[in-house]
Amino acid sequence: MTPDAAPDATRTTDFEGFYRSHYLPEHAAPGNVALHVIGTLAGIVWLPTTLLSPWPWLVLLFPVVHAAPGLLGHRLFERNALIGDLRVLRKDFPPHWFIAANHRLLWDLLRGNARPGPR
């Protein structure tokens, strides 16, 4: 299956449905979740730090700083033959949903949800 295709036949059109039915199941391994949290926190720190630095052009590296740890997490901990390792090429959902879901995952964990998702 190509990165264009959804991992299953059910496809949601709202973010909440995407987060619960697609994002969370693809982020079940604790090591993968940890690397996503590291990348999200690094991205949050990266933006203001670089914009206030003498080299504000470094803000252009935000996608690498934010996404690289998560992509590494998928490569090391959560291999998925249906989606593959090049998750950045996925076109089954809007790209900004994946970034928003990373932040939602971090927020859920900071609020004390041991496993984000439905209670």
pLDDT at 50: 97
Token readout for 9 is 């036949």
Distances in Å between the Cα of 88 and the Cα atoms of 16, 72, 106 are: 20, 12, 19
Give per-residue pLDDT as tens, 33-69. 999 999 999 999 999 999 999 999 999 999 899 989 9
Residue 3 CA to residue 47 CA, distance in Å, equals 29
pLDDT at 6: 45
Q: Which residues of 65-98 are buried (b: 16+ CB within 10 A; e: fewer)?
A: bbbbbbbbbbeebbeeeebeeebeebeebeeebb
Token readout for 91 is 């076109």
Give per-residue pLDDT as tens, 78-118. 877 555 555 666 778 888 898 899 999 999 999 987 665 44
Residue 9 CA to residue 74 CA, distance in Å, equals 22
Residue 59 CA to residue 62 CA, distance in Å, equals 5
